[in-house]
């Protein structure tokens, strides 16, 4: 089994696959569990994959939180072809790491084939996390550093948030659910 398993193995019929990505320490796992459990959990860097489901406005989201450590980021592309959407989490209080996040996000969307990159028509939700810290930059600054307008994605939104505040997360999730409801689901790779 191992790292070559496709995300289609984790999909329920009728659900939408959502990649939850971000550099280590950005808060992706904390956000995932805030959405699922409604409370903040202390987490450690994800070394592989956390898979959780959350239903919002009648739509089941199968969330695949793949670790953001340098060695684990290579898995991002493996799961990308089965994803209906991407949630990309950045630490908006660390501008230097935002530059690295920009590089990783761009590389996720530029591939040499459909097989190894996210398709441009899949919605991208960017959470500018840690807005509750005094050093956080604005969502406009996050957008500028990430250079989102230069990657090949048709639909994206950046939402300010704090992983400690579920309400701030739900604004972004509600936007994503609205986007997904207006689209046909991606057929998981390997389905007949």
Which residues belong to the annotated binding site for GTP? 22-29, 68, 129-132
CB neighbours (10 Å) of residue 4? 7
Q: How many angstroms separate the Cα of 152 from the Cα of each of 83, 105, 122, 155?
A: 16, 10, 10, 9
The Cα 118–Cα 122 span in angstroms is: 7
Binding site per annotation, positions for Mg(2+): 29, 46
Residues tagged in the binding site annotation: 22-29, 46, 68, 129-132
At which residue do the structure tokens 């991407």 appear? 86
Sign of CA dihedral 68, 74, 77, 83: negative
């Amino acid at each position: 089994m191992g790292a070559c398993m496709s995300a289609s193995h984790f999909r329920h019929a009728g659900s939408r696959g959502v990649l939850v990505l971000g550099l280590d320490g950005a808060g992706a796992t904390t956000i995932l569990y805030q959405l699922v459990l409604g409370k903040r959990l202390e987490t450690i860097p994800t070394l592989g994959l956390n898979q959780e489901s959350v239903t919002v406005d009648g739509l089941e989201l199968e969330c695949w939180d793949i670790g953001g450590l340098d060695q684990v980021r290579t898995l991002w592309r493996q799961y990308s072809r089965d994803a209906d959407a991407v949630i990309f989490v950045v630490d908006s209080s660390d501008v230097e790491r935002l530059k690295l996040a920009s590089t990783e996000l761009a590389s996720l969307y530029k591939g040499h084939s459909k097989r190894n990159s996210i398709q441009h028509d899949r919605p991208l939700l960017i959470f500018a996390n840690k807005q509750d810290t005094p050093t956080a930059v604005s969502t406009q600054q996050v957008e500028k550093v990430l250079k989102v307008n230069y990657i090949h994605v048709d639909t994206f939104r950046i939402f300010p948030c704090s992983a400690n505040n579920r309400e701030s997360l739900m604004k972004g999730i509600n936007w994503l659910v609205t986007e997904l409801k207006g689209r046909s689901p991606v057929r998981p790779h390997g389905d007949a």
